[in-house]
Amino acid sequence: MVCMADLSFLDRIEQRPDAAALRAESIRLLALAPGDTVVDVGCGAGHAVAELAEDKLKVIGIDADSDAITAAQARTPDAVFHVARSDQLPLEDESVDGYRAARLLHLLADPLPTLAEAWRVLRPGGRIVLAGQDYGFLMLDSSDQDMADVVLLGLEWRTVAPRVARSYRDLLLDQGFLDAEVVVHSEVITDHRLMVKQLEAAAAAAVGKALITQHDADAWLAEQADRGERDRFLAVLPTLLVAATR
């Protein structure tokens, strides 16, 4: 379950201009027409659902977390929502024109059942769009770049499949989807405050894996905070979007 504090944090992330631009690009890649039906799997608090509904689409939001679905329903009461797993969608065969999943596959030990469900529910000619960060591509400036790289490894270990996004194209083609298109959306962050939670969690994970000491972590976090105070903080977060046709 996602706690309310986590939902609040995720809500702030989704309200950033880059997050809105990423959602807009994913919607563009769906290439749907008004009246089409689209499912957003792993919809979270429903920001994309709301924007899809604004485009006059029939929207279904699905998430395994009931708190997230409650928040999404409050945002877009007219959409249809289900609490369900991504590999067990409560939808009929070939019943949707579009399938969107953002920041989902990195949470899954095995993405194949989820992609099989996407194939099942999409109509022939329907569009699928996957979006997510590949944590192996994150870039963070530091006076101790080796330490930064180790801390970023800590960030990777906090998720199940941190580098799955680089395999989106292969996964879709292997599932039988056609005409896979790859787009890279990079977010540049110079405000240290936007990354504090992630940096602290990554450093804690690196300490937990005995890659660095707590003293190393504290010193590195202090360096990043100092960079923030001097307007020298820089992080680049690429997100891969892959679209294909059923």
Residue 81 predicted with pLDDT over 50: yes
Q: Which of 10, 76, 197, 104 is nearest to 2 (CA)?
A: 10
Question: Domain range holding 188?
Answer: 4-245
Mean pLDDT rounded to a whole number for the chain: 94
Number of folded domains that form the chain: 1
Residue range 148-175: mean pLDDT, rounded = 94
- The CATH number given to whatever domain includes residue 13 is 3.40.50.150
Helix (H, G, I), strand (E, B) or coil at 1: coil
Q: Decide if 95 contacts 37 (C-beta within 8 A).
A: yes
Q: What is the dihedral sign for C-alpha 109, 110, 111, 113?
A: negative
Residue range 114-138: mean pLDDT, rounded = 97
Residue 1 predicted with pLDDT over 50: no
Residue range 183-203: mean pLDDT, rounded = 94
Position 4 scores a pLDDT of 47
> What token pair was written down for 193?
């405050």
User: Radius of gyration over alpha carbons of the chain, in Å?
Assistant: 19
Position 11 scores a pLDDT of 66
Residue range 84-99: mean pLDDT, rounded = 98
Distance between CA 51 and CA 1 in Å, rounded? 24
Residue 55 predicted with pLDDT over 80: yes
8 pLDDT band, cuts 50/70/90, is low
Position 12 scores a pLDDT of 66
- Enter the pTM of the model: 0.90
Per-residue pLDDT tens digits for 174-184: 999 999 999 99
Residue range 131-144: mean pLDDT, rounded = 95
Distance between CA 243 and CA 155 in Å, rounded? 27
Q: CA torsion 52→55→59→61, rounded to 10°?
A: 10
**Range scoring the smallest mean pLDDT among 14-23, 87-96, 155-164, 195-204:** 14-23
Distance between CA 8 and CA 12 in Å, rounded? 6
Q: Which amino acid is at 80?
A: V
